Every structure is written in structure tokens, then in C-alpha cells.
A = this chain, B = another copy of it.
Amino acid sequence: MIIMQTDATPEEIAQVIKEVKKYGLRADVSRGAYRTVIGLVGDETKMPFDHLATLPGVKEAFMIDTPYKLISREYNNFSETGERPFVVKVGNIEIGGDEPIYMAGPCAVESKEQLFKIAEGVKKAGAHILRGGVFKPRTSVHSFQGLGAGGEEEAREALDWLRAAGKKFEMPVVTEIRGETQVDLVAEYVDILQIGARNMYDQDLLVKAANTGKPIMYKRHFGAGIEEFLSFCEYIAAEGNKDIILCERGILPVGKGKGYTRYTLDLSAIPAIQKETFLPIMADPSHATGRRDLIFSMSCAAIAAGACGLMIETHYNPSEALVDGQQMITPDELKDTIDACQKVHKAIRLSKN
């Protein structure tokens, strides 16, 4: 971490960046209202901080030994100016701002009709962003893998529907990328790239996705501790892309016997992560519980815990969905859920002021 003097010149800053590169690291430059802070990406133990501290314009230079510093609240106090929270902007929508943001849509895009019908329903229910899977990560190779599995042509067709539905119903759209070869293709069509839980550790995918410059919706793996989640998130930030929306979607349940929920929605991760990073974090009660009848309760609980929004799988007829029917709710149920969440959000906001 290198903190520049308030009056450091662009040339002095450029000189420091050049020096950093000489040692095989990259520089992450945060230009704040008062001064510029340069984070280092790579192995800081190679860096001669004493030498850096002597360069013109440098106020302080020191090593930070933490696996996530670019996204940490602590090391970004320097560069955050004013009191506004950090938000990820997608069109007119601010994720991480004052109001919860709701993403909804089908688990998988199945047809144009299905998608448009659901898009219309979730828009009316109050959703802000439309989701729909084209490339589906599946445990079994023998299950439906999303329309994207049919080849580039089918993938483009499905992505085109998604973009068109978003345009028609005025919602930005988000879909999952599961492998590196899908990144550029998907980035042509959607507003937010989702990296799913099973790909959380796939650092090459993170890097490739980050470099599209698109906002990334990044989900925690079900076996990952919070520190691990944030450490891997740093791979995205290290590419210079901090438009990251974190998402808690359930961790492995404990214990023997019948599993009453698919995963365990770890809601205490939400305020705990908010103490660590300035990035917004939302919750996905659909994948976490795997049960329609728990979505309402867990949505309200997630908002009460401070989530900046929710991702909820929605279908006008869950029982005929090709994937995950048992966890999808209808647009009407979505409306009830969003209405309740908004009341809870107001209750919390009132209590905090």
C-alpha cells in the first residue's frame, strides 16, 4: 500500500506505478478527493517498501498482509470520499444503495414465450433486474444443461431473448457464465455477469470475467469460509474491476438425517461481510433453501439482516419448469414477498435512525 502526498503530481504517481511494475506487481490506483492511494496486486514480500517511501510524492509505503485488501473496507477508507456507500450502478439502478434491489426470473430460459411471460410478471411484482440461465451448471451430465448447451447459435438466440425481454420490460439482465469460452459471448448481451457458487474458486474465469468491465454478481461456494470467499473475490478486483455484487446462497448443512433445506442460508455472513468489505452483498433464498414454502420467510430475514437485495427464482408455473421447479415461486408470490421485504426494510431503517 502506497499513500501519496496530497499534492503529489501525476508524474510522481506514474513514477511510483512504474517502480511497482519493475518488481513484478501491479498497481491499483484509487484517486480520492484528497489524495491517491496505490494498492499493490501480487506478492508484496518482493517489494522494497523502504525504497518506495523515498520516491518523490510518496507519503507512506507499507506492506499489508491480508488476502483481500483491494476490496477491504479498512484499506479503502483512504480512497472513499464522503459518506455515500459504495454502489454498483447498472443502468439507472444502484445496487448497495438505500433501497433493496430484487432480481427475479426463471432458473433456466426455456423459450421466448416462457421468458417474456415471466419477465412481465416479475416486473409487475416489483423486481428491478431480470435473471435467466442460459448455461446451467448441473451436477449431472445427464440433466438439462440450459439452451446454451446446444451450441453457439442456440446460446445467442436465448441470450437475445433475454436482452429483448430486459429491454421490453425495462430491466437490466443477468445470466451465469460457467466457463471461460462463454464470457465474451455472454458479455455482448447482458448487463451483469453471474459467477455461480460452483465456479467461485475458478480464478481464471474470474480474471476473464473481470476484464469485460461488466459488473459481476459473485456467489459464495457452499463449502467456502468467508475469508476464502473474499480472497477469491480479490482476483476480480485485482483486474481493476470493483463492480462486484457478492451473493450468499447457502452453505453445506450439518448433521445427520433428513435434510429439510437444500443448503443453509448463512445470514450472519451478511453483516459480517459488510464489516470487511465495502462491496454490496445480496442473498439468494431460492438456491439456499430449495423450498418454495420457505422463500417468503428467508427473504424477509435476509433483508432484516441487511442484504442489499435478493435473487429469487420465479416461474408462472413452477411445476412445469425444466430445472429447480421445487424452489421457484410465482409472480404473485414474488409480489407478496417483495412487499413484505419492503416493509421490513423500512422498519429496520426507521430503527437505525
Measuring CB to CB, which residues of chain A are less than 8 angstroms from any residue of chain B? Answer: 40-44, 67-69, 137-144, 178-182, 198-199, 201-205, 208, 221-229, 231-232, 234-235, 238, 251-261, 264-273, 275-276, 288-289, 291, 293-294, 297-298, 300-306, 336, 339-340, 343-344, 346-348, 350-352
B264–A268 contact, CB under 8 A? yes
Q: A201-B199, A204-B181, A251-B264 are in contact. Are A223 and B226 (CB under 8 A)?
A: no
B257–A348 contact, CB under 8 A? no
Q: A256-B228, A304-B300 are in contact. Are A142 and B41 (CB under 8 A)?
A: yes
B227–A260 contact, CB under 8 A? yes
The chain B residue sitting closest to A204, CB to CB, is: B179
- Alpha-carbon gap, A219 to B329, bound state (A): 32
- Alpha-carbon gap, A102 to B198, bound state (A): 30
B336–A343 contact, CB under 8 A? no
- Alpha-carbon gap, A252 to B252, bound state (A): 10
Partner of A43, one of B142, B204, B228, B231: B142
A268–B268 contact, CB under 8 A? no
Partner of A304, one of B40, B224, B288, B304: B304
15 CB-based A-B contacts, threshold 8 Å: A41-B141, A43-B142, A67-B141, A67-B142, A138-B203, A139-B257, A141-B238, A179-B202, A222-B254, A224-B255, A251-B253, A261-B272, A271-B298, A300-B347, A301-B304
Partner of A264, one of B139, B264, B301: B264
For A198, A304, A306, the residue with the greatest tally of chain B CB atoms inside 10 Å of its CB is: A304
- Alpha-carbon gap, A214 to B182, bound state (A): 24
The chain B residue sitting closest to A297, CB to CB, is: B271
A139–B231 contact, CB under 8 A? yes
Q: Name the B residues within 8 Å of A272 (CB-CB).
A: 260-261, 289, 291, 294
Q: A139-B67, A142-B42, A223-B223 are in contact. Are A231 and B257 (CB under 8 A)?
A: yes
Q: How far is the CB of A100 from chain B (nearest CB, A)?
A: 13
- Alpha-carbon gap, A350 to B300, bound state (A): 13
- Alpha-carbon gap, A229 to B302, bound state (A): 24
Partner of A253, one of B67, B225, B350: B225
Q: Name the B residues within 8 Å of A351 (CB-CB).
A: 300, 336, 339-340, 343
Q: Name the B residues within 8 Å of A232 (CB-CB).
A: 139
Q: Name the B residues within 8 Å of A41 (CB-CB).
A: 141-142
The chain B residue sitting closest to A340, CB to CB, is: B351
Q: How far is the CB of A345 from chain B (nearest CB, A)?
A: 9
- Alpha-carbon gap, A259 to B69, bound state (A): 17
